[in-house]
Amino acid sequence: MIRRPALDLFRAFTGLLSDKGGVGAVEFAMIAPIMFIMYFVTIEASQAITTNKKVGRIASMVADLVTQQDRITGAEADAIMQIGQSIIQPYSRSKPTITITAIEITAANPTSQVRVAWSRRRAGENCPTPPEAPKVGDPATIPAALNIPGTFLIRVESDMCYKPMIFWQKSQQEALGFAAAFNNIPMNETYYNRPRMSPDIPCTGC
């Protein structure tokens, strides 16, 4: 014969096993962290892709505006690059560095030379810091298809370090095993264009 307290305990235990009222809460507690992680990763990846496209758009837009001029000043070049930096909005956790380089390809007599005619840069935040802006007379490297003697090129480089929304401190990176690159993802684009209004584009004050 089963004693009353033991019978009551047995009934309570079997009743607990059949009670499914808390199953949903337990399942939610297990799934919710995964769902939140997937949500933030999706948002971060989407914004990173969009920002990377904008970095490329900066180079093409700045090159397009510069090559529409028959001549330009240093202040005008700076204003164009400032417009270029604004393209990255609403992303604002870092700023791109924009470098405009005018490249002259001399006539072939007997061989042509590829050299910097002038250069202008608007600094941002980079990782690592890009090399110094080219100087007048420095040799320049261009794609072979664009190396046509007696021509002129405008090269625009946009470089930026993308900082994710979730920023980890150095101590947190070490604890979680994250690389430093997780917080600074390099994005860059180089765009070439030729002058439209004149054979070359001199720059006053560059």
Please report which confidence band the pLDDT of residue 115 belongs to, taking 50, 70 and 90 as the band edges: very high
Assigned domain for 88 exists:
yes
Assigned domain for 179 exists:
yes
Arithmetic mean of pLDDT, 28-40: 79
Assigned domain for 65 exists:
yes
Assigned domain for 50 exists:
yes
The more confidently predicted of residues 196 and 41 is 196
pLDDT at position 108: 77
Boundaries of domain holding 51: 25-204
End-to-end Cα distance, the chain: 103
Assigned domain for 2 exists:
no
For the beta carbon of residue 156, count every other beta carbon within 10 angstroms.
26
Predicted TM-score (pTM) of the model is 0.75
Arithmetic mean of pLDDT, 183-200: 90
Assigned domain for 1 exists:
no
Q: Under a CB-based contact definition with an 8 Å cutoff, are residues 142 and 192 in contact?
A: yes
- How many structural domains compose the chain? 1
The more confidently predicted of residues 153 and 5 is 153
DSSP-based three-state secondary structure for 78:
helix
DSSP secondary-structure letter at 90?
T
Cα gap 201→72, rounded to integer Å? 7
Assigned domain for 11 exists:
no
Arithmetic mean of pLDDT, 14-36: 68
pLDDT at position 18: 59
pLDDT at position 2: 46
Assigned domain for 17 exists:
no
